[in-house]
């Protein structure tokens, strides 16, 4: 009896252990499945949000396709990314903008989906600086430097130069342009031209030869033959003057276009004018009349009267004197002497300047500072413009001849303008190095005018 009881009890206990074992086994199996499912979800999620972050320059935006092209800093690699209404794009103030508001030349930090090539976030880095509406800037090819607002920055092979959304060469920029400059630290990463330049050709202006021409308050030059002036886009007041004869015309300059101003209605006879032939040694010295740099390769027409003249050349003692113009034709000879010499080497014929003590660099007249800034002359070397053949060549608005043509080497930044009938006028900024060598320049063929 007792053995039967223990037998039943043992059987019940074994059944209980079996049920518990099965139950525990089922629970473990369920947890593993859940854990595996969660692990798969995380892997899939990670794959969907794989991103890349970079800093670059905006080079193009396509409003129709809603795409932006970013060029990574210090490279020429362009990345095209999609953007949409949910892309988190902000300006330099942290305000929300859309991709349509992006401008070429902007420096942006972008995080994008690498699989979809779409913008997730885009913002202006805190260390980016920007100069807008800049109308005074200069390049120094010796140092790869760009000067603006009294500061000097470095440009590199990767600096992006553009005319709005069109890539251009640095040499296509002109001192009459208006630009936006952006960079980080001392490095310039983009220069964007926001307003360009055009050209003013003077016609039938013989009564004003030897006088002065002004374009607004920025350009003041001596009137010479074959004048072609580079001016910024917009309205300008052009004035010619020569003694008592004055002419004023208003003109609208358009980007890349040449406009002719005809002064044939001004027929007044100009009396009491003397044509002065200057013979200056050594060759290549600078001549200034009343503070204005004068091209004396041909006779200079001046009204009767007294003029302050200055002649300068590096390594020689500067000459300052008074020129009294009182005859129709006169010749002036000036021989500069070495700085170590002590004898005044000035000789002359009719129209002799009255000598005085050498002076410091003459100050340009008010409003003319940009155009009479003195540049170093290398009289031992030349600049030759070889192409495009047959084009008129101007150096800083002064006519030099038809290409190919050769003239005295001038050191520093200057503008070469090329013009030819039936073709679009084109200008280039060049930086001539002080390297003791002749310079040969060649430019692309001019584009035929559609007009």
**Which domain CATH number covers 55?**
2.40.50.320
The verdict on residue 12 lying in a domain is no
Are 120 and 51 a contacting pair, CB within 8 Å? yes
Note whether 146 and 90 are same-domain residues: yes
Domain containing 102: what range? 48-195
pLDDT range class, residue 393, cuts 50, 70, 90: very high
Q: Two tokens at 113?
A: 């989906």
Q: Is residue 119 part of a domain?
A: yes
Q: Are residues 240 and 188 in the same domain?
A: no
Whether 404 and 315 map to the same domain: the answer is: no
Residues 246 and 314 in one domain: no
Tell me the torsion sign for CA atoms 401, 402, 408, 413: positive
Q: Is the domain of 68 the same as that of 180? A: yes
Spatial CB neighbours of 180, under 8 Å, sequence gap ≥ 6: 105, 130, 131, 132, 133, 134, 190, 191, 192, 194
The pair of three-digit structure tokens given for residue 264, joined into one six-digit string: 């044939």
| β-strand pairing of 354-356 with 78-82 | unpaired
**For residue range 53-95, what is the model confidence (pLDDT) as tens digits?**
999 999 999 999 999 999 999 998 999 999 999 999 999 999 9
Distances in whole angstroms, Cα of residue 435 to Cα of each of 9, 197, 380, 406, 439? 113, 31, 11, 18, 10
Query: CA 18, CA 36: separation in Å to the nearest integer?
Result: 28
55 part of a folded domain:
yes
Q: What is the CATH number of the domain that holds 280?
A: 2.60.40
Domains held by the chain: number: 4
Tell me, yes or no, whether 8 lies in a domain. no
Are 53 and 184 contained in the same domain? Answer: yes
| Cα–Cα distance measured from residue 165 to residue 119, given in angstroms and rounded to the nearest whole number | 20
Q: pLDDT tens, 264-315?
A: 988 655 557 788 999 999 888 889 888 788 888 888 878 788 889 999 988 8
Residue 229 located in a structural domain: yes
pLDDT mean across residues, the chain: 81
Q: Are residues 409 and 437 located together in one domain of the fold?
A: yes
pLDDT tens sequence across 221-232: 889 999 999 999
The verdict on 413 and 330 lying in the same domain is: no
Q: Are residues 190 and 204 in the same domain?
A: no
Based on the fold, state whether residues 90 and 164 are members of the same structural domain. Answer: yes
Write phi, then psi, for 71 (nearest 5 degrees): -105, 115
Please indicate, yes or no, if residue 121 is contained in any of the structural domains.
yes
Of the candidates 52, 182, 179, 159, which has an alpha carbon nearest to the alpha carbon of residue 107?
182
Does 55 share its domain with 171? yes
Does some domain include residue 65?
yes
In 3D, which of 414, 401, 405 has the Cα closest to residue 384? 405
pTM of the model as a whole: 0.64
26 found inside a domain: no
pLDDT at 365: 32
Residues with Cβ within 8 Å of 118's Cβ and at least 6 positions away in sequence, in order, are 81, 82, 83, 84, 87, 112
User: Are residues 143 and 208 located together in one domain of the fold?
Assistant: no
Q: What angle do CA 92, 94, 97 make, to 5 degrees?
A: 85
Residue 48: the pLDDT is: 66
């Amino acid at each position: 009896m007792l053995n039967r009881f223990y037998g039943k009890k043992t059987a019940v206990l074994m059944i209980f252990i079996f049920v518990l074992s099965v139950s525990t086994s089922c629970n473990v199996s369920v947890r593993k499945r859940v854990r595996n499912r969660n692990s798969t979800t995380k892997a899939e999620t990670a794959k969907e949000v794989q991103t890349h972050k970079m800093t670059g320059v905006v080079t193009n935006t396509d409003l129709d396709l809603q795409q932006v092209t970013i060029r990574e800093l210090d490279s020429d690699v362009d990345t095209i990314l999609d953007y949409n209404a949910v892309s988190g794009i902000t300006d330099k103030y942290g305000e929300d903008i859309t991709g349509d508001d992006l401008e070429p030349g902007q420096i942006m930090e972008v995080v994008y989906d690498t699989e979809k090539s779409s913008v997730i976030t885009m913002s202006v880095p805190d260390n980016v600086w920007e100069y807008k509406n800049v109308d005074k800037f200069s390049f120094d090819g010796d140092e790869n430097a760009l000067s603006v607002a009294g500061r000097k920055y470095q440009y590199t092979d990767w600096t992006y130069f553009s005319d709005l959304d069109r890539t251009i060469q640095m040499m296509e920029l002109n001192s009459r342009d208006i630009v936006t400059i952006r960079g980080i630290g001392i490095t310039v990463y983009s220069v964007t031209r926001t307003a360009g330049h055009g050209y003013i050709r003077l016609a039938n202006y013989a009564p004003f030869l030897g006088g002065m021409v002004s374009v607004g308050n920025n350009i003041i030059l001596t009137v010479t033959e074959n004048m072609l002036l580079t001016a910024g886009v917009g309205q300008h007041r052009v004035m010619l003057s020569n003694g008592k004869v004055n002419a004023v015309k208003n003109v609208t300059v358009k980007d890349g276009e040449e406009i002719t101003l005809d002064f044939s209605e001004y027929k007044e006879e100009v009396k009491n004018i003397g044509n002065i032939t200057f013979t200056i040694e050594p060759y290549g010295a600078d001549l200034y009349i009343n503070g204005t740099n004068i091209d004396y390769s041909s006779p200079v027409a001046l009204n009767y009267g007294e003029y302050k003249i200055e002649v300068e050349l590096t390594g020689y003692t500067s000459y300052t004197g008074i020129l009294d113009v009182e005859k129709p034709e006169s010749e002036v000879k000036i021989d500069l002497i070495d700085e170590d010499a002590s004898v005044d080497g000035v000789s002359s014929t009719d129209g002799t300047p009255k000598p005085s003590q050498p002076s410091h660099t003459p100050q340009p007249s008010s409003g003319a500072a940009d155009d009479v800034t003195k540049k170093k002359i290398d009289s031992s070397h030349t600049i030759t413009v070889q192409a495009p053949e047959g084009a008129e060549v101007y150096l800083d608005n002064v006519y030099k001849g038809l290409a190919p043509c050769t003239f005295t080497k001038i050191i520093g930044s200057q503008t070469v303008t090329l013009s030819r009938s039936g073709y679009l006028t084109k200008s280039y900024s060049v930086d001539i190095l002080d390297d003791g060598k002749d310079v040969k320049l060649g430019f692309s063929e001019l584009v035929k005018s559609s007009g």
